[in-house]
């Protein structure tokens, strides 16, 4: 912190590029990527940015103005990356429009670090991680929209909530709000289903197709 210098645009591109490279070259810790030990070294990392600078940027990186936290409506845990999550949802929805069949399920992105909303789901292949609710195109698996689950304070916003709608139904309506009233077929695990949700979707010109085996199939994958 004593040697901190403002981050430049070029440095941000370097750090983001290294993050992408980490998805290809997988190592157990952040420090191991910058290690000079010839047994585990990956020279490209240390040649374009120093270890201390890389760790400092990672420690303090966020994408929101701290002065705006008082007006932020979402979960506090996601405040610093809320702009990124919002942009991703917008891009995913603008680049492709799903066809007739869409599916809702939950995903678990592996994460074993310290995180207040890290989830443990024993039936998933990666048992510890960040849970998200997702809408995908049935035929290709294209991710169209998602909501990160942060616990009880997770925000689900939709204009189609009525008094007889429970929380699981609210999750469904929040995810598919932009796809309602267009005659689509929605497939999902029976965990989310209820008579009230089925009636609500029918009134919004959306056919509900529950799938008992969907959860088991996704977990095996």
Band of the pLDDT at 219, cuts 50, 70, 90?
very low
Distances, alpha carbon 19 to alpha carbons 24, 58, 70, in Å: 9, 10, 30
Least confident of 62-71, 133-142, 153-162: 153-162
Instruction: Output the pLDDT for position 163.
Output: 63
Q: Is the pLDDT of residue 52 over 70?
A: yes
Instruction: Output the pLDDT for position 132.
Output: 93
Band of the pLDDT at 148, cuts 50, 70, 90?
very high
Owner of token pair 């940015």: 49
Instruction: Output the pLDDT for position 72.
Output: 83
Task: State the chain's mean pLDDT as an integer.
Answer: 84
Is beta strand 207-211 parallel, antiparallel or unpaired with respect to 185-189? parallel
Q: Which of 118, 102, 120, 123 is nearest to 175 (CA)?
A: 102
Instruction: Output the pLDDT for position 218.
Output: 41
- How far apart, in whole angstroms, are the C-alpha atoms of residue 34 and residue 18? 11
Instruction: Output the pLDDT for position 85.
Output: 92
Q: Is the pLDDT of residue 166 over 70?
A: yes
Q: What's the mean pLDDT in 161-174?
A: 80
Q: Is the pLDDT of residue 14 over 90?
A: yes
Q: Are 40 and 86 in contact (CB under 8 A)?
A: no
Distances, alpha carbon 73 to alpha carbons 8, 64, 158, in Å: 30, 13, 14
Radius of gyration of the chain (CA): 21
Least confident of 19-33, 103-117, 198-212: 198-212
In the chain, % of residues over pLDDT 70:
92
Q: Is the pLDDT of residue 214 over 50?
A: no
Band of the pLDDT at 220, cuts 50, 70, 90?
very low
> What is the domain partition of the chain in residue ranges?
9-60, 68-220
Q: Is the pLDDT of residue 217 over 50?
A: no
Instruction: Output the pLDDT for position 221.
Output: 37
Domain 68-220: CATH architecture, name and number where available: 2-Layer Sandwich (3.30)
- pLDDT by residue (tens digit) across 84-99? 999 999 999 999 988 8
């Amino acid at each position: 912190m004593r040697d901190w210098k403002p981050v430049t645009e070029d440095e941000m591109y370097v750090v983001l590029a290294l993050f992408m490279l980490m998805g290809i070259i997988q190592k157990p810790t952040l420090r191991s990527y910058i290690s000079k030990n010839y047994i585990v070294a990956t020279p490209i990392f240390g040649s374009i940015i120093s270890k201390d600078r890389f760790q400092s940027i990672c420690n303090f990186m966020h994408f929101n103005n701290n002065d705006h936290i008082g007006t932020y409506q979402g979960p506090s845990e996601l405040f610093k990356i809320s702009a990124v999550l919002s942009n991703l949802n917008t891009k995913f929805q603008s680049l492709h429009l799903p066809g007739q069949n869409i599916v809702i399920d939950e995903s678990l992105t592996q994460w074993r670090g310290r995180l207040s909303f890290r989830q443990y789901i024993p039936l998933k292949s990666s048992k510890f991680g960040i849970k998200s609710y997702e809408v995908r195109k049935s035929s290709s698996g294209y991710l169209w929209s998602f909501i990160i689950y942060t616990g009880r304070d997770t925000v689900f916003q939709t204009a189609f909530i009525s008094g007889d709608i429970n929380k699981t139904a609210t999750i469904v309506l929040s995810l598919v709000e932009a796809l309602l009233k267009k005659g689509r077929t929605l497939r999902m695990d029976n965990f989310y289903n209820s008579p009230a949700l089925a009636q609500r979707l029918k009134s919004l010109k959306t056919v509900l197709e529950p799938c008992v085996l969907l959860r088991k199939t996704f977990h095996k994958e």
